[in-house]
A and B are shown apart, each in its own frame.
Chain A
Amino acid sequence: MTPDPAARRYQYRLGLAMPAVSIFLTIIGLAALPLPLPFGILPDFPLLFLLVWGVLQPRLLPLWLALLLGIIADTAEGLPIGVQTLVFPLVILMTGAMLLRFQSRSHLVDWISAALVIGLATFLEWQLMAFLRQPTALLPLALQAATTILAFPLAVSACLGIEKRLRRWAD
């Protein structure tokens, strides 16, 4: 517990920014990582973190922030502007709909719902690339979607860990 109100305010603001900061760091981190596999497919961690934070702390990830993060993701990954810029806000809307639909969820239901959202987001990305006259093969995107779905529990535990620390920090 911090006695200084100014420090507490600072910590509170930092806590509010944490979801966006963690997504930004995954975007930068992925851009900096070398390719570890022959296919070069890593889980789409920015999308995964966006999805998990959208479920855990929907108020901290408004739509406009998802739009900004999407623009950053597009430029960092070398995609044409508009792909993740549109996919990210739609993912937030989908997670909002998921939250309304499944009030009492189990981890398995969460995972299946996340797989559905990831699949839809990947399909949309594929279609948008074609729309922007840069058609890309479906196989690498499908592989990336599969690894992203498999990595869902990892992202959940990471985000829960961050959230737990933030709560402890705020108390």
Chain B
Amino acid sequence: MRRLQPPASGRSHRPGYARRDSNLALFGALFSGVVLLVAILLLLLQRADPTRFGAFRATMTDALAPVTSLARAPIDALRFTGGGLARGWQAIEHNRQLEKELIAARRKARQMPEMQREIERLQALLRLHRPERVLVATGVASSVAPSGATRSAIVSVGREAGVTPRMPAIAPEGLAGRITDTGARASRIMLLSDSMSRVPVLVARTGWAGLAQGTGAALVFVFDVASERDQLLPGDRLVTSGDGGLFPPGIPVGRIVDPRHNPPRIAPAANPESLGIVMIEKAWMEPLATDIPARGTSPTAARPPVDRPPVDRPPADKPPTPPPAAAP
């Protein structure tokens, strides 16, 4: 029987393919580690400075805007056709309702010039300086990202049209959200239902102030009312209050649909599924601190305090609202 001889040198006698496989596995593990390190590094950079990837995000927004518009074209066409058919079907009923509303509006309009003159006279006496709303650009909101973590849309105007982060985006029906990222020819809107969205609002009927707060899934009204007798009613309209200086006052935000829910739920005035044409305006009042970065900035430094309170602050921390003031 032949005895096994020890190897002459210290080198391994494994077959070549086994050694190659082992090396490949080692190289693969090292490469995996490097890729994960890169991902973690990107994450840490984003945390350290949320504006660091602003240029990259802007480029990607620009690149994605035409692709998403193209992908959305058939859906928009279907919606347009369906909407047209539905409007045609309900035309007579709709027409009757509009006629009624027109008569009521005319009756109100007769009283308006006198009221307007009175308001102007009082404002002149008070030397009130009211900031003007300034339209920056008008674009088409072409897509909505249905991610579980964010609620956003892309609009077809960007830096070239003068759009900058933090500007309010207003649809014909009401407030849509605010700009967070801007590319050269496209921008991203943070919608009202995004979990980072906070909009100071008033109840038009009572003048109670509060916040329309996105939860990521829905829009709710966070408020504090002194009297327990006072209650919200289904259908109560909410408009922007102008607090915080970002959104101009009087823009419809939504209406209360479930006042008994805690906090009450709001149906947004502007349907996020079909925003359509969107106006981008300048911030109603320019903030004193100018470095307001895009989405993802530190809550303490990013936005005005009223516009974005700390997330874990209970609504009770808000001072009680004074008795009803006139809604704008």
Mark A residues whose CB is within 8 Å of B.
28-36, 38-42, 44, 63-64, 66-67, 70-72, 75-83, 85-86, 89-90, 93, 122, 125-126, 128-129, 131-137, 139-141, 143-145
Contacts and interface: CB of A to CB of B under 8 A. Distances in A.
B4 interface: no
A36 B150 CA distance: 16
Contact of A41 (B42, B45, B57, B148): B148
Interface in B142-161: 142-152, 154
- The SS class assigned to the A binding surface is helix
B57 A35 contact: no
Nearest to B52: A81
Nearest to A88: B39
A67 B38 contact: yes
A143 B148 CA distance: 8
A78 B181 contact: yes
Contact of A28 (B68, B148, B181): B68
Given A125-B149, A134-B196, A32 B143 contact: yes
B23 to A, nearest CB: 17
Which 10 residue pairs across A and B have the least CB separation, nearest first? A82-B43, A144-B148, A32-B71, A75-B60, A78-B152, A137-B216, A77-B147, A86-B39, A32-B68, A141-B148
12 contacts: A31-B71, A31-B145, A32-B75, A40-B146, A77-B152, A86-B36, A86-B40, A90-B36, A132-B296, A135-B195, A136-B149, A136-B195
A93 to B, nearest CB: 7
B144 A78 contact: no
Interface of B: 31-32, 35-36, 38-40, 42-47, 50, 53, 56-57, 60-61, 64, 67-72, 75, 79, 142-152, 154, 180-181, 188, 190, 193, 195-196, 215-218, 272-274, 295-299, 311
Contacts, number: 178
B312 to A, nearest CB: 8
A139 B215 contact: yes
Contacts of A71: 42
Given A64-B35, A80-B295, A33 B146 contact: yes
Nearest to A40: B146
Nearest to A29: B71
Contacts of A39: 217-218
B71 A78 contact: no
A85 B68 contact: no
Nearest to B43: A82
A165 to B, nearest CB: 22
A76 B50 CA distance: 17
Given A40-B217, A41-B146, A141-B148, A28 B71 contact: yes
B50 A80 contact: yes
Given A34-B75, A34-B274, A82 B216 contact: no
A132 B32 contact: no
Contacts of A77: 145, 147, 149-150, 152
B195 A137 contact: yes
Contacts of B67: 28, 32
A93 B60 contact: no
Contact of A80 (B35, B46, B144, B215): B46
Nearest to B39: A86
A28 B296 contact: no
A29 to B, nearest CB: 6
B22 to A, nearest CB: 16
A78 B273 contact: no
